[in-house]
Amino acid sequence: MRRIFVFIVVVTAILPVINSQTVAVKSNLLYDVTSTINLGLEIGLAPQWTLELPVNYNPWDFPKDRKLKHWGVQPEVRYWLCEKFNGHFFGLHGHVAGYNVGGLKIFGLNNHRYEGNLYGGGISYGYQWILSKRWSIEATVGVGYTYLDHAKYPCGKCESKIDDYTKNYFGPTKAGISIIYIIK
């Protein structure tokens, strides 16, 4: 929660400097499906360049010792092929997150719980459709590298740690379908 507060403070400090630029607020609907609280801010930097600053947070416990707790930030610089906030774009993103996941019947998470952090970056492609003067929808996908550093536990609340692990991952690092509101 402290990281979200820091993000809001930084954005508040940046806004007066960019008051003549276009700013958009967005929510990734794919995160919403997993009950993850998320908010993104995208700032116009130049006619074809923007900076996206998304944050997400999932503090919930689910029944039967299932967990999908995490927080994350994934800033991205975007180059728009035509004009910012319209059409095709390519991006360069970084990401950092903390997680506590397990007990889920996906990605081999059904028998163990993993608690740790991840760091990395990648490239992305996306497209934004203008719906009206203030509203848009965006779809984006990205691939890249992630370094995971975590402890592995048997599923359950109070069981002892099995071991510490690190992993290098190459593959999808970003996916989104976002609803966007243009402020200026």
Q: Is residue 180 within 8 Å of 17, Cβ to Cβ? A: no
Residue pLDDT, tens place only, 39-92: 999 999 999 999 999 999 999 888 777 788 899 999 999 999 999 999 999 999
Q: Is residue 91 within 8 Å of 123, Cβ to Cβ? A: yes
Sign of CA dihedral 44, 72, 165, 110: negative
Average pLDDT over the chain, rounded to an integer: 88
Report the topology of domain 2-182. Answer: Porin (2.40.160)
Structure tokens at 181: 């509101």
Specify the range with the lowest mean pLDDT, choosing from 8-22, 28-42, 53-67. 8-22
Structure tokens at 100: 């506590």
Residue pLDDT, tens place only, 117-140: 999 999 999 999 999 999 999 999
